[in-house]
């Protein structure tokens, strides 16, 4: 049933693919974190952006990620947007999760008491300074766990990129399987890798949380 | 021509929906004057301070600070809404202390007092730190400068909030029920700081307060608000000993009974 020699043989290829998976996750999550914050801040600072952003967020959250990936990769070129598979994947995953993150940030902003805004007005702080120095440092610590959940969720959705042939773990396992007609080892290893990485990231998030709590929450 | 009053409310109206909170308020405060605003809750007294701090918009009339309209500019003899730059310029003359302190919880006492001087006035960190340290000493908290708000008692937090407001060198200080959220034994230390401030500086002060004893000995003038209007105003001694208006008498009786 389980062939250890075969396992050893395919391990290097899977390890290379694992690096791609982690790359997609990190780059995608960086986009999600920064774009999500930008969307949330725009909604607060520029009232006229509220409606278009809500529409965009609703549109992206209400359609499957797989369709967005396909759309960007196969329909994008007819609008002059030609990107390689890896870039497409990172962008699609990043933008998709940015909409979720923006809602998380929004909840964080709403948790900051109104008195903090009022004190900032009374001290004549500018809008940008108020956001940067007063509001954001208080809005983010409480939502770190929620953001961490989305990191793990994003990570677990990266196999969708196999649909546009990004050589991440799932795609690599499928290729190995179709070439050798052995699926047990590659697919199991992929599953184990995701399990291990999810546990590691959950642990890392708890560490970050604890650090932030020490620094900000008093 | 004599110099303009420090603050003047001219026929100022404030509504929330169909509810008129302030109805054609006229109030003039001269330089260095200490005015206590008292009255039952819902009488619009806190709104007066919040409008002057631009935390509330006004629906009619004009507020002037040293003769200059606060949220308007004069163009061809008419008052038009001012831009943010103008509002910030005039607002710089005003500082406020809140009932709920509103200190920045992620900054130490010292940093709370340094943030605005550095970011708004453009002071160097060293200058701002020296100024903040002086003010924390003035409010008796030199030994707490590196504490976070959550590590301070309510009275200490409120004294930091006073120092923080003073660090911007305002001409007018607004105190909005600054002792109402404090345990009774902590009220004294905050009032003492305000008293000291009044003695040592030529600050104009407006305070909404329920501390009748403090209003009586500290204020130059008491304004009694009732249903969005100034019902009675005058020298504290005369007002407290011999209120003229029936509403003021009722209010004072109720307050004194409550102790």
Q: Kindly report, residue by residue over B16-65, the tens digit of the pLDDT.
A: 988 899 999 999 999 999 999 999 988 889 999 999 999 999 999 999 99
By the 10 Å C-beta count (0-12 exposed, 13-18 middle, 19+ buried), B5 is classed as middle
Number of domain units in chain A: 1
Q: Which residue has the higher pLDDT, B44 or B2?
A: B44
Tens digit of each residue's pLDDT (9 = 90 or more) over B54-97: 999 999 999 999 999 999 988 888 889 999 999 999 999 999 99
Chain B positions with Cβ closer than 8 Å to A: 53-55, 88, 91-92, 94-96, 98, 100, 102-106, 115-116, 119-120, 148-151, 164-165, 168
Residue B124 lies in a domain: yes
Q: Tell me, rounded to whole angstroms, the distance of Cα B105 from its chain centroid.
A: 22
Residue appearing with tokens 């105190």 = B175
Q: Tell me, rounded to whole angstroms, the distance of Cα B23 from its chain centroid.
A: 20
* Cβ neighbour number for residue A115 with a 10 Å cutoff: 15
Task: Label residue B168 by pLDDT band (50, 70, 90).
Answer: very high
Distance CA A20, CA B151 (A): 47
Residue B164 lies in a domain: yes
Domain boundaries, position A175: 4-216
Average pLDDT over residues A123-133: 95
CATH number at residue A107: 1.10.3720.10
Q: Mean pLDDT of all residues in chain B?
A: 93
Residue B123 lies in a domain: yes
Residue B175 parent element (H or E): strand B172-176
Domain boundaries, position B124: 94-169
Number of domain units in chain B: 1
Where residue B77 falls (left for φ over 0; alpha for ψ -120 to 50; beta otherwise) is: left
* Cβ neighbour number for residue A167 with a 10 Å cutoff: 18
Q: Looking at the predicted structure, is the pLDDT value of residue A111 above 90?
A: yes
Q: Looking at the predicted structure, is the pLDDT value of residue A103 above 80?
A: yes
Residue appearing with tokens 């004069």 = B74
pLDDT at residue number A168: 87
Distance CA A154, CA A36 (A): 14
pLDDT at residue number B248: 93
Residue B38 parent element (H or E): strand B34-38
Q: Looking at the predicted structure, is the pLDDT value of residue A70 above 90?
A: yes
Question: Residue A213: closest CA among chain B residues belongs to which residue?
Answer: B106
Residue B122 lies in a domain: yes
Q: Mean pLDDT of all residues in chain A?
A: 92
Give B92's contacts in chain A (Cβ within 8 Å): 124
Average pLDDT over residues B198-205: 90
Residue B250 lies in a domain: no
Average pLDDT over residues A172-178: 91
Among B100, B106, B119, select the one facing A115 at the smallest CB separation: B100
């Amino acid at each position: 049933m389980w062939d250890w020699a075969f396992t050893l043989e395919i391990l290097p290829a899977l390890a290379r693919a694992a690096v791609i998976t982690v790359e997609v996750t990190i780059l995608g999550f960086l986009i999600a974190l920064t774009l999500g914050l930008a969307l949330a801040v725009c909604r607060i600072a520029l009232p006229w952006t509220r409606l278009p952003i809500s529409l965009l967020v609703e549109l992206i959250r209400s359609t499957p990620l797989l369709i967005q990936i396909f759309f960007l990769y196969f329909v994008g070129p007819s609008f002059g947007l030609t990107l390689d598979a890896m870039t497409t994947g990172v962008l699609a995953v990043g933008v998709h999760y940015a909409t979720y993150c923006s809602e998380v940030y929004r909840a964080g902003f709403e948790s900051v008491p109104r008195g903090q805004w009022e004190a900032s007005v009374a001290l004549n702080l500018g809008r940008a300074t108020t956001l940067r120095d007063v509001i954001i440092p208080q809005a983010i610590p409480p939502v770190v766990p929620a953001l961490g959940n989305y990191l793990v969720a994003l990570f677990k959705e990266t196999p969708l990129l196999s649909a546009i042939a990004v050589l991440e773990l799932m795609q690599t396992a499928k290729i190995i399987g179709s070439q050798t007609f052995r699926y047990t080892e590659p697919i199991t290893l992929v599953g184990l890798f995701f399990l291990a990485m999810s546990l590691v990231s959950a642990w890392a998030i708890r560490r970050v949380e604890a650090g932030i709590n020490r620094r900000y929450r008093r | 021509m004599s110099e303009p009053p420090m603050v003047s409310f001219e026929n100022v109206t404030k509504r929330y929906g169909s509810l008129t909170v302030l109805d054609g308020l006229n109030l003039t405060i001269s330089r260095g004057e200490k005015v206590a605003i008292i009255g039952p809750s819902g009488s619009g007294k806190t709104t007066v301070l919040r409008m002057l701090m631009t935390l509330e918009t006004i629906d009619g009339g004009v507020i002037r600070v040293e003769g200059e309209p606060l949220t308007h500019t004069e163009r061809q003899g008419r008052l038009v809404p001012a831009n943010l730059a103008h509002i910030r310029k005039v607002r710089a003359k005003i500082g406020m202390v809140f009932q709920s302190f509103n200190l920045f919880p992620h900054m130490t006492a010292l940093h709370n007092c340094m943030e605005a001087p550095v970011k708004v006035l453009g002071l160097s960190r060293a200058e701002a730190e020296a100024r903040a340290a002086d003010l924390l000493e003035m409010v008796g908290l030199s030994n707490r400068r590196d504490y976070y708000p959550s590590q301070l008692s309510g009275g200490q937090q409120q004294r930091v909030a006073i120092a923080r407001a003073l660090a911007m060198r305002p001409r007018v200080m607004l105190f909005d029920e600054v002792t109402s959220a404090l345990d009774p034994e902590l009220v004294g230390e905050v009032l003492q700081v305000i008293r000291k401030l009044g003695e040592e500086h030529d600050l104009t002060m407006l305070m909404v307060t329920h501390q009748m004893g403090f209003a009586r000995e500290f204020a130059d003038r008491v304004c009694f608000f009732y249903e969005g209007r100034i019902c009675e105003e005058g020298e504290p001694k005369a007002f407290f000993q011999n209120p003229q208006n029936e509403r003021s008498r009722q209010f004072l009786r109720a307050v004194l009974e409550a102790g």
